[in-house]
Structure 1
Amino acid sequence: MVQLDENADKCTEKVLGMWWDTKEDMIRYRVSPRYKQGEVLQGKRRPTKREFLSMMMSIYDPLGLISFFVMYAKTMFQEIWRSGCQWDDPILEAEWIKWKRWIHHIPNIEELCIPRCYMPKQLSGHQVEMHTFVDASKSGFAAVCYLRIKFGPAIHCYLLGSKTKVAPLRLVSIPRLELMGATLGARLAYEVETSLTMHICKRIFWTDSRTVLSWLRSDQRKYKQFVAFRVSEILDTTKQEDWRWVPTSQNVADEATKWTRTPDFRSGSRWLNGPKFLWQESESWPTESVQKTDETDAELKVQFIGSKGANVRRWKAKGLTVKQVEDSTTQEDLLMAESTLWSDAQAEHYQDELALLRMGRHLTRKSSLYKLGPYLDGNGVLRLQERTKMESGKDRVVQPSSGTTAYPAYHCGATRKASACQPRDPDQRAPTEFLDPQVEANRCTPTSILSNM
């Protein structure tokens, strides 16, 4: 639908699906006469669902130069899909009103002129930066890239490309959509940078979501999978210090996610040239400290603390809720819960041994722990008396021979089978091997049944 009328200008050529004005070296758009004369595009007749999709997909914009305009049609089509309209049925009244508003601006596309060359020869060799803006709304999310070239006191900015996506049909929170927009921006910046032949000296990513910035500057492993995987992907191609905050009013990606104003198709528009602060020195750029928000805590994994112990009884006595318990949990509470679970697990298998040690007596020769020389620490946990200490300065914990005992699991959200869990970092102290104590005692290799707690 949006293309150049081939008979309109002899200086225009079609290159890779785009129309190029060779005289002025500009990318231009024109509306084909066969669409101008149609009743649907003139607003005289409601389009069917099939006609709506056909016209929307006829807009060829591989670089996303007019994605701020096409995005509105995408959100309209999603609303038509939700309404249950059939393919050959006219769209409903609410969608038709939005349709007429959208087609009213289609002739303005012809006013759009985009420079094909964004790196003139006289600017080559100077400081080149790439700035990516990301934003999201309940309708979708978007990312747009700009090239900022500084040579002496002069600064020039050029639009490189953009990507837009509608929000999923199922309900997704705004912070998660903002994170999806940041992921889209990281992917777009990577693809654009690898396609360019020039050297980019600095990359900066702008978002108006403090929640996303908090996630990016935290340990992603403590968040739920949705957040953790996307934060990890973003940090694979970007750095934490590359991400900065920008007010919503200065976030140019906002034009693709919210239609709060009439779209601007002029050559001097903010969409084509970037926000005003990019044309200024970096000292005048927006700055804002990252603040912790409620959305950050809402995406934390549920931590398993334990069902017994003095700390749990203390929380119950105070009448604390689960949320209050999570907020008031300290490292000391976690260590106490861990010791409680170890002692409970050992009590199920070594009742006689624990009774003798609590009375200060030696183990009998029939005990499977006789040759291991165990003792009880200050928390009542059965440990091995070793000549060589662990790096933490503690002796290792004796793990029961049964592989069904649950051990304290940080960041896991629930108990796991001890025989099937492996530690992911030094702070997650889990057993290394789980073999029968009797077999190991006969082999005189006591360390293989011990935990590196």
Structure 2
Amino acid sequence: MVLPNQMHDDDNKALGLGYSTEEDMLYVMTSVNFSKRKKKMRLGQNLLQEQVRAQTPNPLTRRELLSQVSGVYDPVGLVTPTKQKGAILVRKAFQEAKKRGVPVSETWDAALSDELREEAIRLFEEYVQLGQIKFTRAITPPNSNDEAWAITFSDGSENAYGAVLYLRWHSNQGSIIRLVESKAKLTPLDQKGDVIKAEVCGAVFASRLRRYFEQHSRIRVEKWYHLVDSQTVLGAIQRESYGYKTFFANRIGEIQGVTKAQEWWWIPGLQNIADVITRGASPQNLDENSEWQNGPSFLSLPVDEWPIKSAKDLAGTARESIKELQKKAFAAALTRSEAKQKEPTGESEQTGYLNQVQAEPRRPPAGLAVRNLCDLKRFSDLSRLVKTIAWVWRAAKKFLGKNRTLNNPKWEAVCSTGTISVRERGDALRDIFLAAQEGINLPNTTRDRLVVYKDQHSGLLVCGGRVQVFEDDQVGVPVLPYDAWVSTLLARESHKESHGGLADTVLRMRRKAWVIRGRRIAQKVINNCVQCRKNRAKKCQQVMGDLPPERTQPTAPFEFTTVDLFGPYHVKDDVKKRTSLKVWGVVFCCMSSRAIHTELVNTQSTEGFLMAFQRFAAIRGYPKKIYSDPGTNFIGARPVLQELYKFLERVDKSALEETAAKNGTEWIWKIHPADSPHRNGAAEAAVRIVKKALQNCGGESALTYSEFQTALQIAANLANERPIDARAQSREDCIQYVTPNTLLLGRASQSGDIKSFDFCSYPFKRLQAMQLVVDNFWRRWSQLAGPNLFLRNKWHTAHRNVAVGDIVWIADQNALRGQFKLGRVVSVNPDNKGVVRDVDVRTFPSYPVPITKPLKAKANYTESKSCREKIPSTVLHRDVRRLVVLLPVEDQVNE
């Protein structure tokens, strides 16, 4: 297939554009070709989109980049948004060479950076796609007798400026919009930062498009609409051009020579289609259904519904602001040549102020007075500083009133006048800003971009931006230097309002003042904010620990057991059916074989658990070690069971040595840290399995106590029939698999044939058969299920160990972040590899504790310390994953 950008026959050309005779459509003939030239012709074929990246030269030079960009010929301006991207990229490439210090003679053949080369490749791929986009040739719809409306859009930015012309036709089917032409140009480098000049040049292009259209087209236009998104440009066009400086006077004069002032309208920037000219667009945004070819959607609506406003609607009755615009709008009342400001006269004014006695005293030079009144750096809060300055001004007014001097003040008269008013606070804040602006030296870029000028009423240096000149009753935002202390106070106050991020703090700062390099100050304040550091603090993490030996070595069933409770469930009484009671299930899980044993208790007391444990031990035997979470019933049962184990060890020691029924006498009860269910993962997983099995066998319905106990035992048996070999479950040809019942019953399932033995004829065969079953289980377990324990599924990275003396938060599950308990680590419990996984934290009560002896001097420090030690404290045992380290011990300052 031959693409349009590879057609070069004369029949397919129309005034430099590609023309499809079958569809009556135009397209731009683009080509990307890096082959050699012979008589100004490329010897190779044009590249396809998938060939561009592979055949782009490496290194890519500026000469080759400009050659490909210049190959896009678009006399009408159909693809101006994409074409401007290439022009912007070429200028960026030469700016890069200048920054890198490349000699002028070597600039053309120097290699582009990798970043610019990648951007150029994407541009070349878009050029190939550009040749496939078609545009309607006929700008006049068929059977249209009405006169058209012409609409121009213009815009300007730091990179480019331009304009586009559309025609709007009325028909029976509605309004039809046709793209006529567009024009764009790069913004000169010496005008970068002055967007107003670029927007005026864009308006000039709009007037030139109109003049060209009227000279060369026979289409009659009923109305003209020129739309801009700059209120400054719109206001300038409404006035005569003689009052402006040369640059603006010439261009506004040209605009007024072609168009009428009432034909210009303001439109929001988001609705201005000319914005894509200044920033560029991809070919996908220029297709037949795009807004670029069909115009903005509001053009099809009645003109009363267009989002446009006239200059009269924007300016209102503020005609004086429009008059000042002639001299002031673009000249920026504070230019580089007018940067020197008049300083106050100094001591004479201040002395005259202090010595003068009158009913309404005159204010001193505000900035000078604020500096002499107090040291601003002594204040850490802006509102307190403002309040202090306001009180001082009120006191000065009272002291210097009639028949009153500074030598005979009456402070009662000052305090009796009430609180500080809003106006007094505003005056105090203005004086503080004046003190901060003393000797300010703004960068040239700041003056050009912010339009800085001096307010006539307050004397402050303010910035108005692009809209300030139209607001007669609105004062611009004061400008503050970066190194002023009040800038830091303003950032603190703005951040304290919501403790938001960088953008939120900067926007809140700019409500009161525009701080030079304000983002840097805001970021510094956010980094030093204690509240934000607490909010951003993360819980401690640690690498996953090794499995305990009890989890990996062959042992007797339930020799190492973990236990947990679940529930409650509501069951009916066996006799009184209408009476219900709560019951809880107890799960005993073997750590090595993962076998499960369940019991039922009707209370969460220690006595109820002990009875369940005795039933478990009567069937499975006494375990050697028991692991559990720190439940009150488990902790209460621990001393009782320890005494029981000591009694068994003392009484049955000789019997244990002789019989094989009870093997070992080391009885240990291990309690995991509170609020750390992952430390008792085997029991938690067993609870989940039993609950699911209980649900499958219908045990959650309304049952009696005995019925529910039966269902619980059946659920435990179902859980013990589960395969513990994960790989065997995924193999369709696998028939035998390892289950906990393989060890408990000698077979995987409860059903099946049971071989019988004659004890008289073969006294040892039965014992050998049972031992063979156990050996086969552990051999198959080590081959099939054991390898699944090697992987660490999470917590792979080692972190800093929590150390003694760390200030931490205890992150309880049921507490909010602001309600976490604060404590200090008093001891750590490292494992055999030195990794700390649980610690002891000392916390103090949150309620106030009275101190009987006051703290008068440093000599009484030891006494106060002893009083502090008398405050009751609590030592909590917690896992490190439930702690948030606020202040490590190495960052603390010694007392």
- TM value normalised by structure 2: 0.32
Deviations 1:354-388 (A, max 9, x none): xxxxxxxxxxxxxxxxxxxxxxxxxxxxxxxxxxx
- Structure 2 CA distance for partners of 1:222 and 1:150, relative to 1, 3 Å: same
| 1:171-190 to 2 correspondences below 5 Å | 171-172=191-192, 173-190=194-211
Deviations 1:190-210 (A, max 9, x none): 112221111111111111111
Deviations 1:98-126 (A, max 9, x none): 21232232232233111111113401x20
Please tell me the root mean square deviation across aligned C-alpha atoms, in Å: 3.4
Aligned to 2:587: none
- Contact 1:222/1:301 (<8 A) preserved: no
Larger relative contact order, structure 1 or 2 (CA cutoff 8 Å, min sep 6): 1
* Cα distance in 1 between the residues matched to 2:155 and 2:55: 32
1:47 aligns with 2:60: yes
* Cα distance in 1 between the residues matched to 2:286 and 2:59: 26
Stretches of structure 1 that go unaligned for 5 or more consecutive residues are 303-315, 329-453
- Structure 2 CA distance for partners of 1:12 and 1:326, relative to 1, 3 Å: farther
1:264 aligns with 2:264: no
Aligned-pair CA distance for 1:224: 1.9
| 1:26-425 to 2 correspondences below 5 Å | 26-29=25-28, 31-32=30-31, 34-36=45-47, 42-43=55-56, 45-84=58-97, 86-123=107-144, 125-152=145-172, 154-172=174-192, 173-259=194-280, 263-288=284-309, 289-291=313-315, 297-300=328-331, 323-324=454-455
* Cα distance in 1 between the residues matched to 2:256 and 2:274: 21
Aligned to 1:16: 15
Amino acid at match of 1:21: S
Q: In structure 1, the residue corresponding to 2:149 is in which secondary structure?
A: strand
Aligned to 1:5: 6
Aligned-pair CA distance for 1:246: 1.3
- Contact 2:232/2:329 (<8 A) preserved: no
- Structure 2 CA distance for partners of 1:41 and 1:80, relative to 1, 3 Å: farther
Q: In structure 2, the residue corresponding to 1:89 is in which secondary structure?
A: coil
- Contact 2:5/2:132 (<8 A) preserved: no
- Structure 2 CA distance for partners of 1:298 and 1:128, relative to 1, 3 Å: closer
Aligned-pair CA distance for 1:30: 5.0
- Structure 2 CA distance for partners of 1:45 and 1:127, relative to 1, 3 Å: same
- Structure 2 CA distance for partners of 1:290 and 1:95, relative to 1, 3 Å: farther
Overall identity of the aligned pairs, in %: 25
- Structure 2 CA distance for partners of 1:4 and 1:262, relative to 1, 3 Å: closer
Aligned to 1:439: none
- Structure 2 CA distance for partners of 1:121 and 1:152, relative to 1, 3 Å: closer
Amino acid at match of 2:252: V
Aligned-pair CA distance for 1:132: 0.6
- Contact 2:168/2:299 (<8 A) preserved: yes
Stretches of structure 2 that go unaligned for 5 or more consecutive residues are 34-44, 316-320, 334-348, 350-361, 367-433, 435-452, 460-895
- Structure 2 CA distance for partners of 1:78 and 1:161, relative to 1, 3 Å: same
Q: In structure 2, the residue corresponding to 1:283 is in which secondary structure?
A: helix
* Cα distance in 1 between the residues matched to 2:15 and 2:283: 30
Q: In structure 1, the residue corresponding to 2:184 is in which secondary structure?
A: strand
Aligned-pair CA distance for 1:13: 1.7
* Cα distance in 2 between the residues matched to 1:14 and 1:223: 47
In terms of mean alpha carbon deviation, does 158-167 or 38-47 score higher? Answer: 38-47
- Contact 2:53/2:121 (<8 A) preserved: no
Amino acid at match of 1:110: G
Q: Of Structure 1 and Structure 2, which has the larger fraction of its residues in helix?
A: 2
Q: In structure 2, the residue corresponding to 1:70 is in which secondary structure?
A: helix
Aligned to 2:397: none
- Contact 1:49/1:91 (<8 A) preserved: yes
- Contact 1:127/1:151 (<8 A) preserved: no
- Structure 2 CA distance for partners of 1:326 and 1:18, relative to 1, 3 Å: farther
- Contact 1:69/1:263 (<8 A) preserved: no
- Contact 1:223/1:301 (<8 A) preserved: no
- Structure 2 CA distance for partners of 1:40 and 1:88, relative to 1, 3 Å: farther
Deviations 1:21-52 (A, max 9, x none): 11110112455472316767854634211111
- Contact 2:148/2:220 (<8 A) preserved: yes
Amino acid at match of 2:116: E
- Contact 1:204/1:243 (<8 A) preserved: yes
* Cα distance in 2 between the residues matched to 1:283 and 1:12: 46
Aligned residues: 313
Aligned-pair CA distance for 1:169: 1.7
- Contact 1:222/1:300 (<8 A) preserved: no
Aligned-pair CA distance for 1:222: 2.4
* Cα distance in 2 between the residues matched to 1:154 and 1:210: 32
- Structure 2 CA distance for partners of 1:171 and 1:287, relative to 1, 3 Å: closer
- Structure 2 CA distance for partners of 1:301 and 1:255, relative to 1, 3 Å: closer
Aligned-pair CA distance for 1:188: 1.6
- Contact 1:135/1:207 (<8 A) preserved: yes
- Structure 2 CA distance for partners of 1:91 and 1:195, relative to 1, 3 Å: same
- Contact 2:4/2:132 (<8 A) preserved: no
Amino acid at match of 2:69: M
- Structure 2 CA distance for partners of 1:282 and 1:83, relative to 1, 3 Å: same
* Cα distance in 2 between the residues matched to 1:208 and 1:40: 39
Amino acid at match of 2:61: T
Asked which structure has the greater CA Rg, the reply is 2
- Structure 2 CA distance for partners of 1:41 and 1:279, relative to 1, 3 Å: farther
